[in-house]
Amino acid sequence: MAKKAAIALAVVMLVIVAWGLFFAAGSTRIIINGQELTGPLIGTIGAAGLVIGLIALFCAAIFLLFVFAGIGIFILGGVIVAGLILAGLAFPLLLVLLLPLAIVWVFIAIIRKTGT
């Protein structure tokens, strides 16, 4: 079950990335030296930014795993969830950032429910 959930989560995340790169390209502008970046490589540059962000978040997650062991992870998670809820209420445009978190949260809840 966990393997199927992991595959489904990976597919959902890839769909979100593809949607962000191809269908919502007009919402984000890359500007270098005052000139807007255009051309066929704009998707590649956007994908490179996503990959770099993913690597940075993965490294931060590993670091936090070792630093905040035990109950500290639950406290930190609660603070982050409360901050995300407050940010979602304060800035409705950040809903796009909260959707992937909600998807991950649902998959973890499903895995924890079936694992015990």
pTM of the full predicted structure?
0.34
Would you call 35 helix, strand, or coil by DSSP? strand
Give per-residue pLDDT as tens, 98-112: 788 888 888 888 888
Find all residues with CB under 8 Å of 30, minimum gap 6, and list them: 36, 37, 42, 45, 46
- Average pLDDT over the chain, rounded to an integer: 74
Query: What's the rounded Cα separation, in Å, for the pair 74 and 70?
Result: 8
Question: Which of 114, 80, 113, 112 has its CA nearest to residue 97?
Answer: 80
Give per-residue pLDDT as tens, 51-75: 777 788 778 877 777 776 766 777 7
What's the domain range around 72? 2-115
Helix axis angle, 2-18 to 95-115, nearest 10°: 170
* Number of domains present in the structure of the chain: 1
